[in-house]
C-alpha cells in the first residue's frame, strides 16, 4: 500500500541517536553508526522523530510500505530485559523496563527509557523510605531514566499523572538534600538555560504538557540571573499548551540554601 512513512537520509545522519527516544513505537535503531528504520510496519508515519534530528536527516515521505501494525509494535515493545532483584544487604531500587531497550537494537544505552519501582517493602512509594544507615548507603529517589530534557521522550509512560520536577543542572550539586526534599515521588527533567537552546526547551516542555496529564510542576533553579530562563521556559510551555497546572518556583542559593 502507498502510505506516509519515515525516511532517513544516511548521508546526513551522524548517529547521535536523539531520534530514538522520540519514537514511541521503537521503530528506529542505530546500526553501523546510522539511524535506520527497523521495519515498515513499526512506523506510524506521524513523524514525531522529525523535530529531534539536529541534522535534518529525517523526513516523512509517501511510498509503498507495509501497513502500520499495532500488534507488531506491542510485540516489539515487550520488555526484553528484567533486572535481577537486588541483594537484601544492599537496599536499592529495582529496575523495570517500560519501553524498548535501544541498546539491544544497536541504539544508545543513554537514551533507554526506564522507570524504577520502589524497593521491596516500600509499599510502592520510595519516597516513604528513610535513607538506610551506613556510609554510601543513601537511597536514590530517582524514578525514571533518562532525565536530560533533550533526551526524554515526550510521551514517556512515566509522565502519566506525574508531579513534574524541572531542575537546572547545577541544583543537585548545590542543594545537599535534593533527593529527599525535592525529588521523592516526582518525575525529573534537567537542563541548563544558559548553555542549551531555551526555545528548544520551551518546545519540548510544551509537548510534554500537551501529551500528558501532568498534575503539578515544580521548577528548581539557581539564584544566578541566567538560571531564571528555565522557569521562563516552563511558564511559556504551559501557556502554549493551554494548561493550568499548580506551579511552584524554588530558588536555590549558590551555597545550597533555599532563597525563595
Q: Which of 117-121, 139-143, 199-203, 219-223 has the lowest mean pLDDT?
A: 117-121
**pLDDT given at position 162:** 95
Q: Decide yes or no: CATH 3.40.50.1370 for domain 2-75.
A: no
Share of the chain above pLDDT 70, in %: 79
**pLDDT given at position 200:** 87
DSSP 3-state assignment of 24? coil
Q: Decide yes or no: CATH 3.40.50 for domain 113-130+139-252.
A: yes
Q: At what angle do helices 228-241 and 198-211 cross, to 10 degrees?
A: 40
Q: Which of 64-68, 72-76, 190-194 has the lowest mean pLDDT?
A: 72-76
Q: Is the pLDDT of residue 124 over 60?
A: no
Look up the pTM and report it.
0.58
Question: Within 10 Å of residue 147's Cβ, how many Cβ atoms?
Answer: 17
Report, as an integer, the average pLDDT of 78-102. 40
**pLDDT given at position 88:** 42
Residue 12: exposure state from Cβ atoms within 10 A (0-12, 13-18, ≥19):
middle
**pLDDT given at position 193:** 87
**pLDDT given at position 216:** 97
DSSP 3-state assignment of 180? helix
Instruction: Kindly state the cell numbers that stand for 19.
Output: 531520534
Question: Within 10 Å of residue 207's Cβ, how many Cβ atoms?
Answer: 19
Domain with CATH 3.40.50 in the chain: 113-130+139-252
**pLDDT given at position 101:** 39
**pLDDT given at position 52:** 77
The residues, ordered by sequence, that sit 6+ positions from 106 with a Cβ below 8 Å of its Cβ are: 29, 30, 31
Report, as an integer, the average pLDDT of 204-213. 93
Domain with CATH 3.30.70.20 in the chain: 2-75
Residue 236's region, left for phi above 0, alpha for psi from -120 to 50, else beta, is alpha
More confidently predicted of 107 and 6: 6
* Chain center to CA of 194: 20
**pLDDT given at position 127:** 42
241 in Cβ contact with 210 (< 8 Å):
yes
Amino acid at each position: 500500500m502507498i502510505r506516509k512513512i519515515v525516511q532517513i537520509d544516511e548521508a546526513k545522519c551522524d548517529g547521535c541517536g536523539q531520534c530514538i527516544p522520540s519514537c514511541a513505537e521503537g521503530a528506529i535503531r542505530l546500526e553501523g553508526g546510522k539511524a535506520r528504520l527497523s521495519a515498515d510496519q513499526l512506523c506510524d508515519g506521524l513523524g514525531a522523530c522529525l523535530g529531534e534530528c539536529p541534522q535534518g536527516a529525517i523526513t516523512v515521505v509517501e511510498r509503498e510500505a507495509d501497513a502500520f501494525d499495532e500488534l507488531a509494535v506491542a510485540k516489539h515493545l515487550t520488555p526484553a530485559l528484567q533486572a535481577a532483584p537486588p541483594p537484601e544487604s544492599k537496599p536499592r531500587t529495582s529496575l523495570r523496563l517500560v519501553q524498548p531497550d535501544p541498546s539491544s537494537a544497536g541504539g544508545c544505552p543513554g537514551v533507554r527509557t526506564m522507570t524504577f519501582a520502589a524497593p521491596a517493602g516500600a509499599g510502592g512509594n520510595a519516597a516513604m523510605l528513610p535513607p538506610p544507615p551506613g556510609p554510601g548507603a543513601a537511597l536514590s529517589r530517582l524514578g525514571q531514566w533518562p532525565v536530560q530534557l533533550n533526551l526524554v521522550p515526550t510521551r514517556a509512560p512515566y509522565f502519566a499523572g506525574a508531579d513534574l520536577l524541572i531542575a537546572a543542572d547545577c541544583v543537585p550539586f548545590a542543594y545537599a538534600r535534593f533527593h529527599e526534599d525535592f525529588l521523592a515521588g516526582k518525575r525529573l527533567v534537567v537542563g541548563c538555560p544558559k548553555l542549551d537552546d531555551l526555545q528548544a526547551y520551551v518546545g519540548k516542555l510544551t509537548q510534554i504538557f500537551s501529551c500528558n496529564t501532568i498534575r503539578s510542576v515544580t521548577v528548581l533553579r539557581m539564584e544566578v540571573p541566567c538560571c531564571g530562563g528555565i522557569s521562563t521556559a516552563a511558564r511559556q510551555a504551559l501557556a502554549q499548551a493551554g494548561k493550568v497546572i499548580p506551579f511552584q518556583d524554588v530558588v536555590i542559593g549558590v551555597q545550597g540554601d533555599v532563597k525563595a
